[in-house]
Amino acid sequence: MFLSHNEVMKQSTPPLSEPERQGVWQMFDRIAGRYDFLNHTLSMGIDLRWRRRLAEMLPPHPELKVLDLATGTADVPLAFCQHNGDVAQVTGMDLAEQMLGQGRKKISAAGLEQRIQLQTGDAMQVPAEDNSVDAVTISFGIRNVPDLDQTLREMQRVLKPGGYGLVLEFSTPEIPGFKQGYLLYLRHILPQLGALVSGDAYAYRYLNQTIESFPYGQDFCDRMLAAGFSDVLAEEQTGGIATIYRGIKPHQDSAPIAS
Ligand SMILES: C[S@@+](CC[C@H](N)C(=O)[O-])C[C@H]1O[C@@H](n2cnc3c(N)ncnc32)[C@H](O)[C@@H]1O
């Protein structure tokens, strides 16, 4: 069902020359060996709870076939198999081979090779057929692609009608006091701590800049609606530090009739 990355590259001209896009996934390749440690340490383990919640928000059907974009080191596919018994198959896709390599080791250590497959794939040009999966997810990935709307349209395209698109992404808390404290951490503490632990100052400056400028809440819901999702909802996590967005691909007969 899934096309190889090379097959998709042959089918159309990919926007691979964009320096920003190239730089982003290459940056993840650079820090792949330390990514999990950094992630879980700098978030104090809260990110594990968010991925577990994502697993709980998958469609309530048995034998789910799920596609996880920008899968990184496969924490999302692993969380799905560990926390949701309805998940039959997960395919994780990413452009960063080193991140996928780390993920493969974890999948094999968990004995989940039969349920989880990883492959090279661009979230903006997904190598999968239309209407082919029950759920498509992206966790802390959509902020890293050059074209958010194109990625959302791709998510919608590969979903079966009635399937769920789920996005887990950082957002900005609105609670007074908490918001100021969080922004202080994000702007001044995280970049220094991240640079110290990872040895890659750019990665953590990039992180805080992209979090603050990224649409969240109703703005992000509007982007999902524009991409063709219906029943869009946003569920804030941990006071709004992150948000899970869910949209459903409408059945054809419920789409508006053009006059
Ligand atoms: C912050 S990591 C998130 C990894 C994982 N989803 C998680 O929850 O930990 C972002 C990932 O997005 C990937 N990425 C960036 N641009 C991409 C693209 N255009 N297509 C696929 N993956 C991409 C990076 O290589 C990286 O692995």
| Closest CA to ligand 1's atom 15 | 25
Tell me what the pLDDT averaged over the chain comes to: 88
Condensed to tens digits (0 to 9), the pLDDT of residues 102-143 reads 999 999 999 999 999 999 999 999 999 999 999 999 999 999
pLDDT exceeds 70 at position 6:
no
pLDDT of 14: 35
Distance 141 CA to ligand 1 centre (A): 4
Distance 72 CA to ligand 1 centre (A): 5
Sign for the CA dihedral angle at 55, 59, 64, 70 comes to negative
Q: Which atom of ligand 1 is nearest to the CA of 76?
A: 8
Q: Give me the residue spans of the domains in the chain.
A: 5-172+215-250
Q: Sorting pLDDT into bands at 50, 70 and 90, what band is 15?
A: very low
Distance 149 CA to ligand 1 centre (A): 16
Q: What is the dihedral of CA 17, 20, 24, 26, to 10 degrees?
A: 40
**254 exposure class (CB count in 10 Å sphere: 0-12, 13-18, 19+):** exposed
| Closest CA to ligand 1's atom 13 | 70
Distance 11 CA to ligand 1 centre (A): 23
Give dist(CA 144, CA 28) in Å, integer.
10
Mutate to test the pocket of ligand 1, among 26, 144, 167, 208 (most ligand atoms within 8 A of CB): 144
Condensed to tens digits (0 to 9), the pLDDT of residues 59-74 reads 999 999 999 999 999 9
Distance 176 CA to ligand 1 centre (A): 31
Mean pLDDT of 44-70: 96
Residue 208 burial (CB count, 10 A): 19
- The structure tokens listed for 160 are 């079966």
Give dist(CA 66, CA 82) in Å, integer.
14
Condensed to tens digits (0 to 9), the pLDDT of residues 154-197 reads 999 999 999 999 999 999 999 999 999 999 998 888 888 878 87
Query: What residues are in contact with ligand 1 under a 6 Å CB criterion?
Result: 24-25, 28, 69-72, 75-76, 94-96, 99, 122-124, 139-141, 144-145
CATH 3.40.50.150 at 5-172+215-250, yes or no: yes
Q: Which atom of ligand 1 is nearest to the CA of 39?
A: 9
pTM comes to: 0.90
Mean pLDDT of 225-231: 98
Distance 119 CA to ligand 1 centre (A): 13
pLDDT of 160: 98
